[in-house]
Amino acid sequence: MKALWALLAALVLTEIAYPLVHGDTRAALTIATVVTGYVLSVGHAWLSRGPRAAAVLVLVTTGGGFAVEAAGRSTGFPFGDYDYAGSLGPRLLGVPLVIPLAWTWMAWPAWLAAARLTGRPWLRAGAAGVGLAAWDLFLDPQMVAEGHWRWEAPGATLPGVPGIPLTNYLGWLLVAWVLAAALTLMVPDGDGDDRPMHALYLWTYGSSILAHAVFLGMPASAAWGALGMGLVAVPLAVTLWRSRS
């Protein structure tokens, strides 16, 4: 597990550097962050629950994430009519290859956070879906502001967060629930050390609020993300604190 903590430290340092740079360097740090998070999550699945669990995680969230992104870009369902710029590296079917890695990166810690909150499988899947989808309240505003993708006709949006349709967030919730349900069905419960993933989830929550509110000048997305992702992150933090006491 020491290697996982080292990867988490590397991810934290990369994200700290993000607001301090601009242009191509910032785009490169975005890709580096996602790749590091992907290796961290898949590596944890392998070490804590075995190679089969890691393979299922990749199949469900990387494969599923790519499939839904390719379909969404082509048909507009379930995220709306959007397209990617060429700033996030190589693409396949119009989808940057780094994008499905991001689904895996956060799906696994969200699923483990939900598992910490409830032992009931379908409540776990529901909470994990919310925990993953709520991350997009930070992700999409940040990436749209950077010009990595955009919607053709956003329509109704969240107050203070222009350019991203409400239907996108509903699409995220639908996909996240499906992915979480598949993980719940296919990945066995484990008694491994999940602390690196709990730390990853809570770091993502707290650092995203701070970055959006202070460094990126996006107070509205900071507030929406704090509310949405806090539905899982805050109970997780309380549960972990009580267990230490």
Q: Using one digit for the tens of pLDDT, what is the confidence trace for 209-219?
A: 999 999 999 99
At 153, the pLDDT band (50, 70, 90 cuts) reads: confident
The pair of three-digit structure tokens given for residue 238, joined into one six-digit string: 């309380």
Phi/psi for 238 (5° steps) reads -65, -45
Q: How do the domains of the chain map onto residue ranges? A: 2-244
- Residue 84, strand partner residues: 149
- Residue 151, strand partner residues: 82
Q: Using one digit for the tens of pLDDT, what is the confidence trace for 91-137?
A: 999 999 999 999 999 999 999 999 999 989 999 999 999 999 999 99
Return the H-helix or E-strand segment holding 67. helix 64-75
The pair of three-digit structure tokens given for residue 111, joined into one six-digit string: 């699923």
- Percentage with pLDDT > 90 across the chain: 95
C-alpha pair distances (Å), 138 with each of 12, 18, 68, 118, 185:
16, 14, 20, 25, 28
Q: What is the DSSP letter of 154?
A: -
Average pLDDT over residues 36-58: 97
At 191, the pLDDT band (50, 70, 90 cuts) reads: confident
Write out the DSSP string of 101-127.
HHHHHHHHHHHHHHHHH---HHHHHHH
At 189, the pLDDT band (50, 70, 90 cuts) reads: confident
Q: Is the pLDDT of residue 35 over 90?
A: yes
Q: Give me the amino acid identity at 46.
A: W
Pairing state of beta strands 91-92 and 95-96? antiparallel
Q: Is the pLDDT of residue 245 over 80?
A: no
Q: Using one digit for the tens of pLDDT, what is the confidence trace for 163-182?
A: 999 999 999 999 999 999 99
